[in-house]
């Protein structure tokens, strides 16, 4: 493992100092990246001192270094996780199981691998673009800091993927790296690759749902790539996962704090709508919207691309290396799923290798059930009977075997007419979005929070809640 070089123009532990061709290519890309950050990163607050953590190494604890940083001065670096001690250096799954890990891209896998890397890479700048206006309506300094932390780290994730493109894909990789700075979230002519990353994120409830559900898709995609037989990809994504965990907690705790605030008001007999807080029915609709949009990110349940990515050893199952699956080749097994056939559900069998997206989606869904159960415990603690429902994997899908079919949020098939009639009960309307938008007020006083959200239980890095997390100049 190469030591961490923090003084280089681009901090890294990938030995850029001894790799002049790639170093020059990346130093050429760096000003374009900074230009993109200036144009499409957080609007304003460029002069503010933000209490950020910066990755300065990959060892235990050493990678999270806290201090005040102006965002444009953040040190975006390239870090690969250390190889796991004692872990077998062989491919864990697919047709090549047991063969040594690849340190170069095998020719026949080149296109597929490039597509996997580019698709992952594209989500990173996309989310920064989606969130760029939110600083102006941050409900507290602590939340504002969390937003900016997520933003700079998504920027670093882009760096991680761009390094792979430059290092392993030659001039194609360089072209892809340029394109990543050219596409724009929500742009009609040159949109981001995946649909959920083109949806607007205009308010903080959306931001929290996005980080709870959409970043969580990212976690599962990264986890599947972290099993990869292509070692540089596996170790890049392993390190990204350590940062991603923070994004997920921002989302999970964020929605949880909104639920808590609403529950407190309801317990006191106060109508949340009368005091600029967010009623439960709107929270439910947001959860439904963003969870289902995130289900689609997993791709089709029955997918030959997914089968190929598994067979070649590029993308594994969740926790593939932990020995929880009975056959690392996933042959001669079927995956069962229920699909609407007229007004009832019928069983469909998919050969397991073709069902890799469905399998990953199931692991994701179980994780989402856990966070929703936590929000529901908060409601129960306030003696509120209503529960938040995590929608069925069949509901509101545009992609895969349920795409375009009509189900209710519990997954029961229904006619298109009834679905269209009841849809406004389930998904946010323009009026709902407008209502939430009206609740958004910026709170810049230390330790104070907007009325629609409860303070968190703890501060960042053991600092108090009323710490000056952003010094706005």
Give the binding site for Fe ion (CB under 5 A).
124, 154, 157, 215, 244, 247
Give me the least distance between CB of 189 and Fe ion, in Å please: 25
Give me the least distance between CB of 244 and Fe ion, in Å please: 5
DSSP state of 305: H
Q: Which residue, 244 or 296, is less far from Fe ion as judged by CB?
A: 244
Q: What share of the chain is helix, strand, coil (3-state, %, to 5)?
A: 50, 10, 40
Q: Which residue, 217 or 227, is less far from Fe ion as judged by CB?
A: 217
- What are phi and psi for residue 2, nearest 5 degrees? -80, 145
Give me the least distance between CB of 150 and Fe ion, in Å please: 6
Q: Which residue, 227 or 244, is less far from Fe ion as judged by CB?
A: 244
> How far is 438 from 221, CA to CA, in rounded Å?
35
Q: Which residue, 241 or 384, is less far from Fe ion as judged by CB?
A: 241
CB 231 within 8 A of CB 101: yes
Label residue 441 left, alpha or beta by phi (over 0 means left) and psi (-120 to 50 means alpha).
Answer: beta
Give me the least distance between CB of 290 and Fe ion, in Å please: 14
**Residues β-bridged to residue 334:** 351
Give me the least distance between CB of 198 and Fe ion, in Å please: 17
**What's the token pair of residue 394?**
């069949």
Q: Which residue, 92 or 157, is less far from Fe ion as judged by CB?
A: 157
Neighbours of 231 (CB within 10 A): 17
Give me the least distance between CB of 214 and Fe ion, in Å please: 8
Closest by CA position to 236, among listed 221, 217, 215, 252: 221
Alpha helices in 210-279 (DSSP H): 215-225, 231-267
Give me the least distance between CB of 34 and Fe ion, in Å please: 19
User: 59-77: string of b/e by CB count within 10 Å (b at 16+)?
Assistant: eeeebeeeeebebeebbbb
Q: Which residue, 124 or 302, is less far from Fe ion as judged by CB?
A: 124
> How far is 181 from 204, CA to CA, in rounded Å?
25
Q: Which residue, 124 or 176, is less far from Fe ion as judged by CB?
A: 124
């Amino acid at each position: 493992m190469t030591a961490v070089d923090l003084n280089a123009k681009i901090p890294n532990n990938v030995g850029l100092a001894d790799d002049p061709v790639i170093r020059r290519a990346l130093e050429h890309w760096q000003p374009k990246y900074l230009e993109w950050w200036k144009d499409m990163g957080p609007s304003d607050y460029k002069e503010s001192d933000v209490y950020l953590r910066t990755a300065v190494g990959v060892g235990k604890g050493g990678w999270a270094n806290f201090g005040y940083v102006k965002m444009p001065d953040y040190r975006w670096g390239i870090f690969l996780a250390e190889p796991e001690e004692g872990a077998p250096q062989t491919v864990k799954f697919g047709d090549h199981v047991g063969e040594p890990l690849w340190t170069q891209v095998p020719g026949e896998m080149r296109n597929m691998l490039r597509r996997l890397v580019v698709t992952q890479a594209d989500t990173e700048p996309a989310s920064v673009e989606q969130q760029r206006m939110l600083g102006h309506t941050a409900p507290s300094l602590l939340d504002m800091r969390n937003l900016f932390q997520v933003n700079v780290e998504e920027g670093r994730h882009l760096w991680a993927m761009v390094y792979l493109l430059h290092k392993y894909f030659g001039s194609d990789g360089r072209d892809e790296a340029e394109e990543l700075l050219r596409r724009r979230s929500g742009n009609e002519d040159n949109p981001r690759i995946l649909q959920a990353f083109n949806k607007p994120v205009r308010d903080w409830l959306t931001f929290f749902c996005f980080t709870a559900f959409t970043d969580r898709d990212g976690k599962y995609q990264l986890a599947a790539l972290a099993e990869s037989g292509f070692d540089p990809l596996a170790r890049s994504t392993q390190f990204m996962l350590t940062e991603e965990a923070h994004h997920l907690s921002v989302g999970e705790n964020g929605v949880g704090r909104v639920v808590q605030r609403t529950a407190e008001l309801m317990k006191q007999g106060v109508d949340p709508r009368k005091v600029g807080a967010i009623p439960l029915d709107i929270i439910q609709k947001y959860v439904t919207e963003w969870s289902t949009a995130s289900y689609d990110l997993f791709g089709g349940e029955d997918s030959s691309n997914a089968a190929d990515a598994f067979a070649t050893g590029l993308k594994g199952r969740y926790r593939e290396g932990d020995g929880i699956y009975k056959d690392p080749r996933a042959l001669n097994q079927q995956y069962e799923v229920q699909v609407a056939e007229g007004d009832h559900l019928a069983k469909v069998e998919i050969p397991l290798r073709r069902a890799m997206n469905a399998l990953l989606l199931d692991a994701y869904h179980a994780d989402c059930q856990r966070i929703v159960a936590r929000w529901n415990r908060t409601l129960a603690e306030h003696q509120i009977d209503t529960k938040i429902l995590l929608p069925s994997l069949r509901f509101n899908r545009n992609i895969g075997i349920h795409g375009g079919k009509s189900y209710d949020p519990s997954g029961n098939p229904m006619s298109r007419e009834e679905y269209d009639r009841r849809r406004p009960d389930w998904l946010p309307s323009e009026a709902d979005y407008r209502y939430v938008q009206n609740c958004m007020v910026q709170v810049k006083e230390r330790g104070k929070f907007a009325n629609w959200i409860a303070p968190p239980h703890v501060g960042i890095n053991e600092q108090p809640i009323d710490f000056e997390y952003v010094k706005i100049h």
